[in-house]
Chains A and B, each alone.
Chain A
Amino acid sequence: MTTNVPPLQPIVDKVDTVDTVLSPTEERVARRGQRLSRRRLYMRRFLRNWGAVAGLVILAVLVVFAIAGPMLTPYTYTDVDFTNLASAPSTMHWFGTNGTGNDTFAQTTHGLQRSMIIGVVVSLLTTLISAFVGAAAAYLGGTAEKAILGVVHFLLVVPSFLILALISQKVGGDWKVLILVLTAFGWMLGARVVWSLSTSLREREYIQAARFMGVSSLRIVLRHLIPNIGSLLIVSFTLGVVATVQAETGLSFIGFGVKQPDVSLGALLGDGANTITSAPWLFYFPAAMLTLLTVSMALIGDGLRDALDPTSHSAGRA
């Protein structure tokens, strides 16, 4: 995928030998410098894409908002203010309150935090699982490959949303269980994609070389296959966050996800939708957060994909 990125460093032009032995620490420092320079190349390509930069800025603002927001208001998301029931935004309650007197600002920031954690953790887990399963299936080949792909294809046709709804209903809307369940049914499509990419990678000569050197299969998968689909994994991670947040919101919206007293953006939206005419602020503030979150992640994902793809036009024009 990214193997033919143009080299940043000039081609080494000296072949004469100098007898200098570097200490392991120096070596590591030098190697780290090398990695940074490769990252700098991707960074430069990423920064050329203004949409991606805008996404990054929005995301940064959202993260700061989610972390710092609860400290800005005296109310917590569970506090009830009986003097203000379903009141419109004011200087006391910036985003207004809901029917039971909860502060919407506190709830929105907390919900954003909750949705972000679920999105990031689930996407990270699914990406890791799909990378390992997909790459292992491709490398092992033969019967093992057929068996793994059989499981993947079976799980892909199972109506996972229904199962998700039933399980999370049973456990009473604990967000940690929701993470497990979303992960369990979310990794298959990624694994399928990783598998198809890895099947072309496994024919590469460096994989063959490692095999002929006697390197173990696990090591080949971890050290040669997965790092070389790394850019795909990064992109699928960012887009996975979007998908997870949407799935979680969907579940919570219809009442199968995060439950009271805990709130997520989806749960807030579900409540707000009922009172959209009488108390529109209950819907619009969480909706704006959700939109900003998914749009910014999508923009970043697109930007990353272009920056990591050597065939894209991120090199600019002459």
Chain B
Amino acid sequence: MGFPRTAPVLSVRDLAVSFPSEAGRVDAVRGVDFDLCPGRTLAIVGESGSGKSVTSMAVMGLLPEYASVTGSIALNGRELLELDDRQMSKIRGRDLGMIFQDPLSSLTPIFSVGRQIVEALEIHQNLDRDIAWKRAVELLDLVGIPNAAERARSFPHEFSGGMRQRVVIAMAMANDPQIIIADEPTTALDVTVQAQILDVLRLSQAETGAALIMITHDLGVVAGVADEVLVMYAGRPVELAPVEELFARPRMPYTIGLLGAVPRVDVAERRPLVPIAGNPPLLVDLPPGCPFQPRCPVSVPGCGDREPELTVVPGAAVDGHRAACIRAHEIRYDGRAVNCGGRIDGRPVYPVPPAPDAPAAHVPREQRPAVLEVKGLSKTFPLLRGALLKRRVGWVYAVSGVDLDIRQGETLGLVGESGCGKTSTLLEIMNLRPPQSGSIRIGGVDVAELRGRGAERQLRRTLQMVFQDPIGALDPRMTVFDILAEPLQAIGEADRTAIGARVDELMDLVGLDPEHSDRFPTAFSGGQRQRIAIARALATNPSLLVLDEPVSALDVSIQAGVINLLNELKATLGLSYLFVAHDLSVVRQISDRVAVMYLGRIVEIGALDEVFDNPQHPYTQALLSAIPVPDPVVERTRERIVLRGDLPSLIDSASGCRFVSRCPLHVTLDVAQRARCIGETPELTGRGGTGHRNACHFR
């Protein structure tokens, strides 16, 4: 590989893993080679099912017994695949540290975190109890747990997700491992916390001098932390290059497509994303030839002959750039374009689709009718204690005084971290019940004045919802036809031929083959299932779609297609969207206006580009700066506001700004101003008549 400064600490050769399944043998990993040098970071990138996690589990020796593993994994020259489980246990935790995705399930709930770290130390080192405890406290302090000596006695449930992940990192580095493997370490965390954890990871690597294998699907994270990047597709590495080279001049069409499909938070110009057509292949009985060929826009007849090897690209700017594509050397960069600018025979590898033109957007916003008006919406949940007789000990203020309005043909992006009240707001709107306080008007109808099922049904026609998880949102026991027919039947349509025609029309609309409507949802991939969910929402010709994180469960290449579809549908059908997401780069691709929520309140609202290019509220600023940008040059040079701490609880109802505990601006203020932050609830106010408003006293 690349430029070996010292001997590699880990070297993997021709690793192959296969599993049994109902359909036949699944070849999850098919020939992975890489070397890892001390202190370096290798990122393994790929979509779900590309074999990246299986590779790391094979290195750790944690695959189930029924899996067959062949090839070679050598740690400092010692072959790991020949060791039995007992011998591997001596290596795991001492030489190999592991950080899992879900910090909730990787800690034992019944022991204090200090004790768990002590355990990790004592298994591999002959340490005195007191010394081990002292070392555990030191480690916790190192990963940024405040009051480490005290908090070491706390149990995992007393920590937030970010803090738990810090504990897991402390455990992984406890025995000064030579390699730390991090499997999607920040995927389960909020962006502001993700930024903190990535810093801690860098620190732990500097502290132990370990090599880091970072497994992730997030190209922004890769751009920030990796030295080298290994791109995997269908169980095989398809490109291996130093990070700057890979992002600037990718040589494998799959990588180019991946980079072109990622929405970017830092680019104002709205161009359609470039999705990669089709789906990854099933890893059962793969045909010969390049597995990416069916999806590749520049495939030639020679691609189908045999699977290309991962070889050095002739004429690459950096040596050590390898790609598995027979046309890699034909891809040219003229220096002008950065991402997705690869050209072949003078044409771009991925042609950019034309942007849809929305007729509704030509009418000024004020003249368009409002489809949704929410005024002063609040929602509280009682906090109950007690085993038998529940008594209320407080209130959870999930949503407090939210004002929103959406005009026809407009998308409002509602963003915020988990627990900020965005889902509660959605459910309040979808329930069509009079809210605890405030008012909700949908298409001019106040839901508090709804009488009878007929009126409610009439209103439901105009308001439909798309859920986050395309697997959970479709009943697995119903065919796609029945799924799409259900909303039609619910509004009283009984004519089967009319339903049949409408179902075909809907399938067509979302880019699916109407002939496939007799299949069950399990026969479709995640992106296709989300298209079915969108088709179902469109069945009754609604005017407002409520989208709850509709693309966050999808892979980037698929996600791009769904985002483009949503933009297209909005333009052709004149729909309005309430788009809820935590991912600001997706919001930037799809929204016209943005509202940023923090702890049940809207802290900033305004037109898309105004909020993104000129954020006013300190929270919005921090949120925007925490989002990783898939460009190593930008990502490593830009200034970043890393917020302290985690989201506080919603139980406190005291007046004052709710962001005060984490606010970077607050600490720079004088005493009188600080008192105002704590004592007085800031209202949403705007400067100038642009409709860009924020809830900060000093902005």
Contact = CB atoms under 8 A, between A and B. Distances in A.
Nearest to A11: B525
B473 A318 contact: no
A35 to B, nearest CB: 9
Among the interface residues A10, A14, A205, which one has the most CB atoms of the partner chain B within 10 A?
A: A205
A31 B479 contact: yes
Contacts of A212: 430, 460, 464-465
A143 interface: no
Contacts of A153: none
B19 A214 contact: no
Contacts of A213: 460, 464, 486-487, 490, 536, 540
Contact of B496 (A14, A24, A205): A24
B514 A20 contact: yes
A206 B473 contact: yes
A8 B491 contact: no
B512 interface: yes
B467 interface: yes
A158 interface: no
A3 B477 CA distance: 8
A25 to B, nearest CB: 11
Interface residues of B, number: 65
B513 A18 contact: yes
Contact of B522 (A7, A13, A45): A7
Interface stretch (A101-109, A223-231, A277-285): A223-231
B465 A214 contact: no
A5 interface: yes
Given A12-B516, A17-B508, A34-B518, A6 B21 contact: yes
Nearest to A18: B513
B544 to A, nearest CB: 12
A40 to B, nearest CB: 11
Contacts of A216: 490
B35 interface: no
Contacts of B469: 205
A44 B520 CA distance: 19
Nearest to A2: B476
Nearest to B533: A209
A227 B25 CA distance: 31
A18 B515 CA distance: 8
A24 B464 contact: no
Given A34-B520, A316-B20, A21 B477 contact: no
A31 B518 contact: yes
Contact of A38 (B468, B501, B520): B520
Interface stretch (B121-129, B274-282, B678-686): B274-282
B624 to A, nearest CB: 30
A205 B511 contact: no
B487 A5 contact: no
Given A20-B514, A21-B501, A228-B477, A209 B467 contact: yes
A18 B514 CA distance: 7
Contacts of B524: 11-12
Contacts of A209: 465, 467, 473, 533, 536
A234 to B, nearest CB: 13
Interface in B416-473: 430, 456-457, 460-461, 464-465, 467-469, 471-473
Contacts of B523: 7, 9, 11-12
Nearest to B466: A209
A15 B528 contact: yes
A214 B513 contact: no
Interface in A240-299: none
8 contacts: A3-B471, A12-B519, A12-B525, A13-B294, A14-B513, A17-B507, A17-B512, A24-B497
Given A13-B294, A210-B490, A213-B536, 19 more contacts: A8-B22, A11-B524, A12-B513, A12-B516, A12-B528, A15-B278, A15-B512, A22-B515, A41-B22, A204-B472, A206-B474, A206-B475, A209-B465, A209-B467, A212-B460, A215-B489, A227-B475, A228-B477, A318-B68
